Amino acid sequence: MNGQSRRTSRPGQEHGAALLIMLVIMVVGALYFVVGQSQTARVRVERDAITAAALAQAKEALIGYAITYSDTHPGEVFGYFPCPDTESLWIDRPSGCRVVALCDTGGPGAP
């Protein structure tokens, strides 16, 4: 031979390069899927925390409105909630709708 070595292979013998490439592609795909799922879960948890904070703020605002109702409406008792915004929902407001309900404290004698 003239200094060059030839690699000879028998028919049907594989060297495994294609299998190795496929394995690498599958591992990269699996890692992409796992990382993507963890990112989605993290975003969902952050979004739920923002929603919970907004709902807590709305609850405090409604309770504050009900408690101070008699201060802002002389001659009325406290505990009234505002009417829902029916105009933006294209719902007819019942005639004379001024309040929705009194606060239910859940104490003795509450319905």
Selected residue with higher pLDDT from 106 and 28 = 28
SS3 87: coil
pLDDT tens-digit map of 11-60 = 666 678 888 899 999 999 999 988 888 888 889 999 999 999 999 999 99
User: Is residue 66 within 8 Å of residue 79, measured between CB atoms?
Assistant: yes
Mean pLDDT of all residues in 93-108: 49
- Model confidence, pTM: 0.48
Q: Residue 50: what pLDDT? A: 96
Q: Residue 104: what pLDDT? A: 47
Write phi, then psi, for 69 (nearest 5 degrees).
-60, -40
